[in-house]
A and B are shown apart, each in its own frame.
Chain A
């Protein structure tokens, strides 16, 4: 079983829709969870950063972490064509210096106008 699983999509939605992106993981020691947005041929951009369980909201974006289910989600409200990108989840134990982030493979989102 891979450490982090993420449905690659593609996911296609109309403008204004609510989008739900998800990742599951197997390592219960993960404590730090991130969502990155990556446009084609660009570097990933950090969108959301959460520690442990709970919700975090930033504008149209909400990140949820359910450690008991080993499941994280990113919700995008009022989706826009500019949200069309690949979304990568990443996580780490954060216990040791230099611990690498473990990435999901990314979900490709397309928002049509």
Chain B
């Protein structure tokens, strides 16, 4: 099956710990994206990558980091510097560089206490 997988589905961490969220796609898409979704706020872009070994900050990149060592993988690290990390995190990929058509993974719900 082709698609985007995110793991784990639920993640719990203590405040002050870094945590890495996984995103893998086998759609052969070049572009990949990380969004954060909070209740009543819609989706906000954290980071995006158009090609391997390259990525750009989105609107709310502070406290997050990413890597893109392989085309199919785009992990997101939520660092201890992120002031309000509890949220639903969504990974997406797109077949075109402009990202006009994006397909989403199932999401990871992160809870930090």
Residues of A within 8 A of B (CB): 8, 32, 34, 36, 41-46, 49, 88, 90, 92, 94-101, 103-106
Contacts and interface: CB of A to CB of B under 8 A. Distances in A.
Contacts of A105: 40-42
Nearest to B90: A43
Nearest to A49: B101
Interface of B: 4, 6, 31, 33, 40-43, 45, 48, 50, 56, 58-59, 88, 90, 97-107, 109
A41 B42 contact: no
A83 to B, nearest CB: 18
30 contacts: A32-B101, A34-B101, A41-B107, A41-B109, A42-B106, A42-B107, A43-B105, A43-B106, A44-B43, A44-B90, A45-B104, A46-B101, A46-B102, A49-B100, A49-B101, A88-B43, A92-B98, A94-B98, A94-B99, A94-B100, A97-B31, A98-B48, A98-B50, A99-B99, A100-B33, A100-B59, A101-B43, A104-B42, A105-B40, A105-B42
Contacts of A104: 42
A36 B35 CA distance: 14
Given A41-B88, A103-B42, 20 more contacts: A8-B40, A32-B101, A34-B101, A36-B104, A43-B104, A43-B105, A43-B106, A43-B107, A45-B104, A46-B104, A88-B42, A97-B97, A98-B31, A98-B97, A98-B98, A100-B33, A100-B45, A100-B48, A100-B99, A106-B42
A contacts with B: majority SS: loop
Nearest to A104: B42
A46 B58 CA distance: 21
